[in-house]
Structures are given as structure tokens and as C-alpha cells.
Amino acid sequence: MQDDPPRQALRLALAARRMDMKELSARLGKNDSYIQQYLNRGTPRNLAMADALAIAENVGVDLSALVPASARQALGLADRQQPVPVPATAPDANAILTQIRATIPTPSEMKTDLPVYGTVECGNGDYMEFTDTFMIKRPPVWSGRDDVYAVRASGESMTPRFFPGEIVLVDTRLKPRHGNDVIIQLHDGDGNDGIRRAMLKIYIKKSPTLYVFSSYNPDYEQTIEVPVEQVKSVDVVVPTSELLGG
């Protein structure tokens, strides 16, 4: 996998641009080792479409060289058996966006019935309240499901991974794993679930007595321990690109 065509193309592009893997990871808004893990360890196996688009724009490589053959066919891109020569300038961003948008469902194909919670900031550090509810367009792959929801991020502790006001999509069916972005719903302490508090954090681990979470922004507390009895649920955040086939 380490020598497959998408990885070869990216290595050539980085060398041509004299850009190191850490710099590209930062431009993508990822952790410092993201590109290194992709190239050398095969994780992730394939780039999400949003990441492939961002890489194409940053290093000037043809988008078709960064995605597997199945994705090239779905996007209607030319099938290339060998790495694409690195162009002198980046490909036209508008043309690439047009190709990506063709794979995304139109608003008319989505029902406006996915609930969004957490629109009111609690004002107590990283907490936000589940009080108001409104509806947004539902991704077609979530059609008919009542175990999914969304929140509006608040606070700065997860920037630049999530920015204040950003809509975050959540799947309660998934089991949290180390490194997942999660919504932690907390018991309110008086047995009334009408108003719930929640946090957006990175899941680290669970012991018999404690959950351990982390913030993404290094300016905020990096280790957050929450007693198990205070946690109502830990729900996994799903990247939008995965729901749209990225």
C-alpha cells in the first residue's frame, strides 16, 4: 500500500514543492504526523475526498492522482495508471470544486428533519446546553434514523478542528475509540433530562471509574477526567465527508 499510485504522486509533489509532510499536515488542519502516517503507515487507507481536494490545491497535483480507481470512476476523472507529473502550477480550484459538487446530494434530495441541539452556550467553560432544537437537512445515508443528531459547536477548545458555530454531526450507534471526536452528554444531577449539558472533546479512554478526554486547542486543558456516573452518553462525531461519500 505504501507504494500505491496516490502515495507515489503525493511523494513526487511534496519533493517538487520542497514541502515537508508536517507543513502539509498543518495546511490541512490535521495533526503534525497525519501525512507521514498516510504515506508511511497506510493510515488512512484512502484519503477523504475533502482532504484529497485540499492536497491537490496545496501541492499542485492532479486530483485524479490522489484517489483510488473506484473514486476516479465515480467522479468521472481520467483513469491514470502511473503517478501524474507534478504541474508547474496548481490545477484550477473551480474545476475541482465542480467535480466534487457533482457527487454531493442536492438540497432537494435531503429532508429537513435532522435535529440540532446545543444552540445556547452555557457560559461555563467548555459546556453548552441542550435546550433549543431546530432542524437541518438530513444526509441521505441517515434517512429514517432516529439515533443521529447534530450540535452547533461553541467555545474555542477544539479549534482549529471545530470552530464556534460549526454544525457537528453525531451518530449514537458508533462505539467511541481512542482519538475519536465525541459529544459527551452529562447528567444534570437532579434527574431531569429536559436540559442537558454537553462537551465536544477528543476521546482518550475509559476506566471503571473515569472517562478521559482531551481538547484539541493546546491553549486549553489537555486532560479532562469525568467520573463515569456523571456521563449519560459518549456519542461519536462523524465527518461530513464520510456521509457524503468522501
Write down how long the chain is. Answer: 246
Regarding whether 229 and 181 lie in a shared domain, the answer is yes
Regarding whether 219 and 168 lie in a shared domain, the answer is yes
Kindly state the average pLDDT of the residues 92-107. 58
Kindly state the average pLDDT of the residues 80-94. 51
pLDDT surpasses 50 at 121? no
Q: What is the mean pLDDT of the chain?
A: 76
136-188: pLDDT as tens digits: 888 777 888 889 998 888 888 888 888 888 888 899 999 999 989 999 888 86
Regarding whether 137 and 84 lie in a shared domain, the answer is no
Kindly state the average pLDDT of the residues 53-64. 81
Compute how many other C-beta atoms are within 10 angstroms of the C-beta atom of residue 178.
Answer: 10
Q: Which residue has the higher pLDDT, 192 or 236?
A: 236
Regarding whether 115 and 96 lie in a shared domain, the answer is no
β-partners of residue 202 are 181, 214
Regarding whether 112 and 229 lie in a shared domain, the answer is yes
Say how many domains are in the chain.
Answer: 2
Regarding whether 133 and 89 lie in a shared domain, the answer is no
| Cα 157 from Cα 113, distance rounded (Å) | 29
pLDDT surpasses 60 at 229? yes
CATH assignment at residue 52? 1.10.260.40
105 pLDDT tier (thresholds 50, 70, 90): low
pLDDT surpasses 90 at 210? yes
Of the candidates 70, 101, 132, which is a domain's last residue?
Answer: 101
Q: Which residue has the higher pLDDT, 211 or 215?
A: 211
Of the candidates 101, 118, 150, which is a domain's last residue?
Answer: 101
Do residues 6 and 48 make contact, with C-beta atoms less than 8 angstroms apart?
A: no
Regarding whether 93 and 145 lie in a shared domain, the answer is no
Regarding whether 120 and 84 lie in a shared domain, the answer is no
Amino acid symbol at 191: G
CATH assignment at residue 198? 2.10.109.10
pLDDT of residue 123: 39
Model pTM score? 0.54
Regarding whether 88 and 30 lie in a shared domain, the answer is yes
Residues spanned by the domain of 34 = 5-101
Regarding whether 130 and 224 lie in a shared domain, the answer is yes
| Cα 44 from Cα 63, distance rounded (Å) | 17
Do residues 164 and 155 make contact, with C-beta atoms less than 8 angstroms apart?
A: yes
Of the candidates 101, 123, 152, which is a domain's last residue?
Answer: 101
pLDDT of residue 91: 54
